[in-house]
A and B are shown apart, each in its own frame.
Chain A
Amino acid sequence: NAGVTQTPKFQVLKTGQSMTLQCAQDMNHEYMSWYRQDPGMGLRLIHYSVGAGITDQGEVPNGYNVSRSTTEDFPLRLLSAAPSQTSVYFCASSYSGGTRYGYTFGSGTRLTVV
């Protein structure tokens, strides 16, 4: 049982490049979400999904796209990387809308845009 797997763990991009951050879970969780963590800002929600084929925007969606074609995978796409997108990105999942078992987080992707 691997939980939530994020790849890559580290990435350096040049301004204007695009890339996809991968997130996969093997717990049959319906709810999946992407957060970014910046110093002093906590975790801010980028996009989320409540099931395959259903996605919606969070607090800071600009510059990011998501899709959810399967229950297991929820990739985050950076369309044209900007230095403001330098951050640590976390993917999280839960079986239902938040229970006493909490949300399971991946180990994070540290992204630097130069």
Chain B
Amino acid sequence: AQKITQTQPGMFVQEKEAVTLDCTYDTSDQSYGLFWYKQPSSGEMIFLIYQGSYDEQNATEGRYSLNFQKARKSANLVISASQLGDSAMYFCAMREGSVGGGSYIPTFGRGTSLIVHP
């Protein structure tokens, strides 16, 4: 079974609008971390934001915020005021501890392709 599920293969958004990219996860660990990465067409992996399972507040980094709903096991990325440069692949990832059978090394979802229209 997949540990990280990203159900949106592709998303389109108008420039300056907000967009939400979905991510659900599966773990039995109490201590885990969730990441979002951006991969532009140039191919590099860019770290965007992190949410720890014990963090009480949703993480925010500039225009990026992570909507963390622990009971629903979801960690959606919200990009506010989209820009043309936001067009890229976005990957959700989770690292677990040993209780969940993890290794502290992230497991990635299959990604969502975001296209921002002018």
Question: Roughly how many angstroms separate A96 CA and B31 CA in the complex, as a whole number?
Answer: 14
Cβ of B107 under 8 Å from chain A: yes
Given A43-B91, A107-B43, A107-B44, decide whether A100 and B108 contact each other with a Cβ distance below 8 A.
Answer: no
Bitwise interface map of A from 99 to 114 toward B, beta carbon under 8 Å scored 1, else 0? 1111111011000000
Interface size class on chain B is 20 to 34
Task: State whether B104 touches A98 (Cβ < 8 A).
Answer: yes
Cβ of B40 under 8 Å from chain A: no
Which residues of the other chain, B, contact A96 by a CB distance below 8 angstroms? 104
Task: State whether A102 touches B44 (Cβ < 8 A).
Answer: no
Which residues of the other chain, B, contact A50 by a CB distance below 8 angstroms? 103-104
Contact of A48 among B37, B43, B50, B105 (CB under 8 A): B105
Task: State whether B47 touches A103 (Cβ < 8 A).
Answer: yes
Nearest-Cβ distance from residue B22 to partner chain A, whole angstroms: 14
Given A107-B43, A108-B43, decide whether A56 and B91 contact each other with a Cβ distance below 8 A.
Answer: no
Task: State whether B106 touches A103 (Cβ < 8 A).
Answer: yes
Bitwise interface map of B from 4 to 47 toward A, beta carbon under 8 Å scored 1, else 0? 10000000000000000000000000000101010000011101
What is A's interface to B at a CB cutoff of 8 Å? Answer: 31, 33, 35, 40-45, 48, 50, 56, 58-59, 88, 90, 92, 96-105, 107-108
- Given A97-B95, A102-B35, A103-B106: 18 more A-B contacts, CB < 8 Å: A42-B4, A42-B91, A43-B93, A43-B108, A50-B104, A58-B103, A58-B105, A59-B107, A88-B43, A98-B35, A99-B50, A100-B52, A100-B59, A102-B37, A103-B35, A103-B47, A105-B45, A108-B43
